[in-house]
Amino acid sequence: MELERTIPASRISPPPAPARGWPGLLRLVHLSLAGWTWAVFAFFYIPILLLAVYSFNDSKLNIVWQGFTTKWYGLLFENRVLLEAFRNSLIIGAVTTLAATALGTAGAWILHRYRYPFAGWIGLLIFIPMVIPEVLMGVSLLSLFSSLGVPRGFVTVIIAHVTFCFPFVLIGVQARLDGIDPFLEEAAMDLGATPWQAFRLVILPYLLPAVVAGALMAFTLSLDEYIVTLFTTGSQSQTLPLKVYGMAKVGLNPQINALSTLFVAATILLVISGELIKKARSR
Amino acid sequence: MNTMVLLENVSKRFGSTVALQEVNIEIFAGEFLTFLGPSGCGKTTCLRLISGFERPSTGRVILDGRDVTGDPPYLRDVNQVFQTYALFPHLSVRDNIAFGLRMKKLPLAETRERVDKIIEVVSLDGLADRKPSQLSGGQKQRVALARAVVCQPKVLLLDEPLSALDAKLRHQMRLELKSLQKRLGITFVFVTHDQEEALAMSDRIVVMNLGRVEQIGGATEIYHRPATRFVASFIGDTNIVEAEVLGTDDGKILCRLEGGLQVLVRARNAPPDGKILVSLRPEKIRIHKTRPPGENVFRATVISEVFKGAVDDLTLRTEGGLELGVLDTNEGSDEVEFDVGEDAWCRIHPDDVIILGG
Ligand SMILES: Nc1ncnc2c1ncn2[C@@H]1O[C@H](COP(=O)(O)OP(=O)(O)O)[C@@H](O)[C@H]1O
Ligand SMILES: [Mg+2]
């Protein structure tokens, strides 16, 4: 998520070249804007960089550099508790991604394609899970599950994750649908495709960049979700963020540094590949 | 001539909007038929009833002898060229064109052969592997056309397919469309609001207004013998004048126009009586310096004149105060010219005074 937060900063950089002959004031403004941009970058990335550096530090303490080692990575891969939490996170993330992507894509298409009463209100309601405070959402889901007598575990976490992930997919797909040729579906049906074939062979390929981007987004969101997970998970379905926080409370452990480094690297790879796919596809 | 499409007493309502009212149209196999009318008159709705994207509120749609009123679009042997082209953006030109044949599950070899052939026919050679986004407007148009005709539909529907092109390309595509239709022998049903386009390409034209058919006929028939006031004024310029029937004589009707002018009119159908409307095309009113021989000769004063190259666009006022637009062709360089304020002799042949119904 670190990458996400820096987007506003990257928008103001690089500053446009100052107009020729303008007094120094404008130059000053541009320079300080550039400086601000770099400061924001530094603020976000230096901690991550330090984290990565100390994951190779041959000391149990984070503060002093003792020498290079990869032993924390070795220990990490023998750490049953963390590995199991990691596996749980992957399972929950994968299932959430599939469900949220399917739901978000289908939802966007249905909202776009069909007219029905209260369409505007339904469109608004869908976005509430995106903006509602996570604590509220956690509490409300918890009370829903317990009043229904559903035991907490994988199923409940996944339901919770899908609930806040699918609107992100929906928004992205909706944005792409805004620019669609209104007769694409009819053209396919005109050429002999059934409505389902038209969706699968024409509409879906057109939406694919947005669908892939949405899926990556959903996966990332699910993977590092803490609060909602805390409220809805059971003892057998502890996720990595929960475990890591639990460990960090006891004391900083270089294994967590190693794990976080791997995580950040994977996230960056995912986001970059998502962007690349989107670019290549929309060309 | 075989009937290919029959719209039988078709009406179409969208909520409280009446898009089509009691429309009856017969489309013959192999003809180039055009729906012509102002925006909102129901042309697209007619096409969508044939393609199956709309169902009539009442009435039937017959395609090649079979009632298809309830059939969905993908079960009808009809293809369409959309106004926006609606090419599939993720598919190459070749795959776009092959789409319909793949849906029909044609053997691969035959699909390939037919696609290659049509690519040649519409001169898209060398562009087969491009994506639609890499094509110009005219090329997209050809792909849309090829994608539809490669399916060898019974009817090809074209909804204002030229309106997105620039003027020059539009003129060129008119000729190409017409010659393609001749070569393929497919029934073309074309929609436009552009009368020039309709007159240039069609075997027959259906003139529509406010969800009704005003007239069906060939280009010359519609221009020279408009059936209604709407047709007369929508196609070309004309003078529409109120008149009163005075009597009949030897196949001709004597009418008194507004302003008192009396003219003879060739009676085509049963002579009407009472108040009628007549249409006088500006180019059919001949003007002379001296009194010409023959019928329907009257005097009028030139009240305005605009030189337009091939023609002079004049407005004349008769002694009774009737104002008429007149086009005087500039055939010779020593053409007699009329100045504003000058008196002229006018003449209109009884065949050229058209009685309008409706
Ligand atoms: N799906 C629809 N819903 C409501 N009204 C429609 C719909 N389609 C067409 N109409 C109305 O029907 C009339 C005819 O439309 P159309 O056939 O598109 O006209 P044209 O193609 O001649 O411009 C118009 O008044 C239009 O507003
Ligand atoms: Mg239309």
Give B80's contacts in chain A (Cβ within 8 Å): 186-187, 190
Q: Helix A80-113 to helix A240-250 angle, to the nearest 10 degrees?
A: 140
Across chain B, mean pLDDT equals 92
CB of B227 closer than 8 Å to CB of B214 = yes
Q: Which of B45, B55, B157, B213 to mutate to test the pocket of ligand 1 (most atoms within 8 A of CB)?
A: B45
Q: A253-269 pLDDT, tens per residue? A: 888 888 888 888 887 88
Output the six-digit token pair for B124: 């898209």
Q: Tell me: pLDDT of A18 over 80.
A: no
d(CA A118, CA A135): 29
Instruction: Tell me how many residue pairs between chain A and chain B have CB atoms under 8 A apart.
Output: 63
d(CA A161, CA B192): 52
Which of A36-45, A272-281, B109-118, B254-263 has the lowest average pLDDT? A272-281
Neighbours of ion ligand 2 (CB under 5 A): B 44
Q: B139-160 pLDDT, tens per residue? A: 999 999 999 999 999 999 999 9
Kindly provide the ipTM of the predicted complex, given to two decimals.
0.84
Q: How far is CA B220 from the centre of its chain?
A: 11
What radius of gyration do chain A's Cα atoms show? 23
Residue A65 falls inside a structural domain? no
Residue A219 falls inside a structural domain? yes
Q: What is the mean pLDDT of residues B165-192?
A: 91
Q: Which of A183, A192, A201 sits opposite B86 (nearest CB)?
A: A183
Across chain A, mean pLDDT equals 85
* A163: CATH: 1.10.3720.10
Q: What is the mean pLDDT of residues B322-346?
A: 83
Please tell me the predicted confidence (pLDDT) of residue B181: 93
Q: What is the mean pLDDT of residues A100-125?
A: 87
Q: How far is CA B223 from the centre of its chain?
A: 10
Q: A222-233 pLDDT, tens per residue? A: 988 999 999 999
Q: Which of B10, B12, B13, B17 to mutate to test the pocket of ligand 1 (most atoms within 8 A of CB)?
A: B17
Q: How confident is the model at residue A8 (pLDDT cuts 50, 70, 90)?
A: very low
Q: What is the percent of chain A with per-residue pLDDT over 70, rounded to a whole number?
A: 90
Q: How confident is the model at residue A2 (pLDDT cuts 50, 70, 90)?
A: very low
Please tell me the predicted confidence (pLDDT) of residue B212: 96
Question: Is the Cβ pair B100, A181 closer than 8 Å?
Answer: no
CB of A190 closer than 8 Å to CB of B84 = no
| Nearest Cα residue in chain A from B155 | A190
**Closest-approaching ligand to the CA atom of B36:** 1
Residue A271 falls inside a structural domain? no
Q: Tell me: pLDDT of A4 over 70.
A: no
Q: How confident is the model at residue B198 (pLDDT cuts 50, 70, 90)?
A: very high
Please tell me the predicted confidence (pLDDT) of residue B325: 94
Q: What is the percent of chain B with per-residue pLDDT over 70, rounded to a whole number?
A: 97
The three-state secondary structure class of B71 is coil
The three-state secondary structure class of B76 is coil
Residue A145 falls inside a structural domain? yes
d(CA B336, CA B349): 21
Q: B276-290 pLDDT, tens per residue? A: 899 999 999 999 988
Residue A102 falls inside a structural domain? yes
Q: Tell me: pLDDT of B202 over 70.
A: yes
Domain count, chain A: 1
Taking Cα atoms as reference points, which of B313, B293, B295, B294 lies closest to residue B303? Answer: B313
Question: Is the Cβ pair A192, B100 closer than 8 Å?
Answer: yes
Please tell me the predicted confidence (pLDDT) of residue A17: 54
Question: Is the Cβ pair A193, B53 closer than 8 Å?
Answer: no
**Residue A99 structural domain:** 88-251
Q: What is the percent of chain B with per-residue pLDDT over 90, rounded to a whole number?
A: 76
Residue A159 falls inside a structural domain? yes
Q: A128-182 pLDDT, tens per residue? A: 888 889 899 999 999 999 999 989 999 999 999 999 999 999 999 999 999 899 8
Residue A51 falls inside a structural domain? no
Please tell me the predicted confidence (pLDDT) of residue B64: 94
Residue A147 falls inside a structural domain? yes
